[in-house]
Amino acid sequence: MKMSAALEKKFNAQITLEFESSMVYRQLAIEMESKDLPGIAAWLRHQADEEVVHANKFIDHLTDRANHPSIGAISAPKVSVKSVLDVFEAALAHEQKVSASIRDLYSATDKAGDLDSRPLLMWFISEQVEEEATVDEIVGRIKLINDDGPGLLRLDAELGQRPAATTENAAG
């Protein structure tokens, strides 16, 4: 069933935020590449691709419901980082912002009685719990490393093992 124009606008804002998230991670990957940490850069780049998957999930949902997905103006990523800790703290803050936005979207659909979007939004609520936990754990481990070179190189090697994401919405 087609969603209301008001909800469509909110979903389109979420699509834009997911693309912005991709740009934030892409910029963070560039910062790590420039610090000769290719594994961490690769992890962040894969995350940038995963954010495009998220955007595509919302786009597909709107299309399936005969609504009109529309990508808004993407803000340039405001990234100012000096250390690996800064990078993941910036990522965590961004994920928290995205989680809040998803909760807001869920509340709006709930208020409107829009049941059709519930499975998708429940998926996103779980995904955000997972993403925040993953980034938070990395922040904790970086604090343990405490700028120790060999420790950072081990983390770099480990994060570099993350498999690449496809930007397609595999779940349909």
Using CB under 6 A, list all residues that contact ligand FEO.
Answer: 18, 21, 51, 54, 95, 98, 131
The least CB distance from residue 170 to ligand FEO, in Å, is: 15
Beta carbon nearer to ligand FEO, 113 or 163: 163
Nearer to ligand FEO, 26 or 152 (CB): 26
Alpha carbon distances (Å) from 124 to 27, 29, 129: 23, 24, 9
| Least distance (Å) between residue 28 CB and ligand FEO | 12
- Based on CB atoms, which residue is closest to ligand FEO, 95 or 156? 95
Q: Say what the alpha-carbon torsion angle 52, 88, 83, 43 is, to the nearest 10 degrees.
A: -50
Least Cβ distance, residue 95 to ligand FEO (angstroms): 5
Q: Which residue is nearest to ligand FEO (CB)?
A: 54
State which residue, 20 or 152, has the beta carbon closest to ligand FEO: 20
In three-state secondary structure terms, 17 is helix
Q: How far is the CB of 101 from ligand FEO (least distance, A)?
A: 9
Sequence-ordered alpha helix ranges (H) in 65-148: 84-111, 118-145
Only one residue has tokens 């998926």, namely 123
Q: Which residues of 40-55 are buried (b: 16+ CB within 10 A; e: fewer)?
A: bbbbbbbbbebbbbbb
